[in-house]
Every structure is written in structure tokens, then in C-alpha cells.
Amino acid sequence: MGNPLGLFIALLGIAQAAKPYGFARFQEQMDAIGSKRRSSEVEPAEWKVLWTRVMGVILTVIGLGLLLG
């Protein structure tokens, strides 16, 4: 079997590509720590959700490459 790290990266990428809003919102909540805004009030910008999906696809390809290579 291939690299177990490749499997982890591929699964993470698939999840990120499938649910980009949740991942982007979590990132925004982490960024809001220490600010005066409540983490429950933050919303990710559309470009960040799109970028998160693109990065998920890239991670999936890299993970599959490691897994199969």
C-alpha cells in the first residue's frame, strides 16, 4: 500500500473540496480570536470559500499522487 500520509492528505483535500464553507468559516473563527468580534459573528468572504475549494482539490491530487506513487 502507498504512503499513509498520502491517504490523510487526500481525505483532507476531499473534505475541504466538498465542504469549503465550513473550513473557511473555521479559519475565520480562528482569526477572530483576540479581536473584539465574536467568533460566531464572522463569515468568510466568497473568494475565501472558493480558494478553500481550490486548495482542497490540489490537496486531493497531491495526496493521491503520494498514495499511488
Residue 5 has a CB neighbour count (10 Å cut-off) of: 11
Which segments within the chain are labelled E, that is strand?
A: none
What whole-number percentage of the chain has pLDDT above 70?
A: 99
Q: Where are the domains of the chain?
A: 4-32+39-68
Helix (H, G, I), strand (E, B) or coil at 58: helix
Alpha carbons 27 and 45: distance in angstroms, whole number: 11
Q: What are the tens digits of pLDDT across the range 15-37?
A: 999 999 999 999 999 998 888 88
pLDDT the model gives residue 34: 86
pTM of the model: 0.85
Distances (CA, A) of 27 to 16, 39, 52, 54, 67: 12, 10, 10, 15, 27
Alpha-carbon span 44 to 55, nearest angstrom: 15
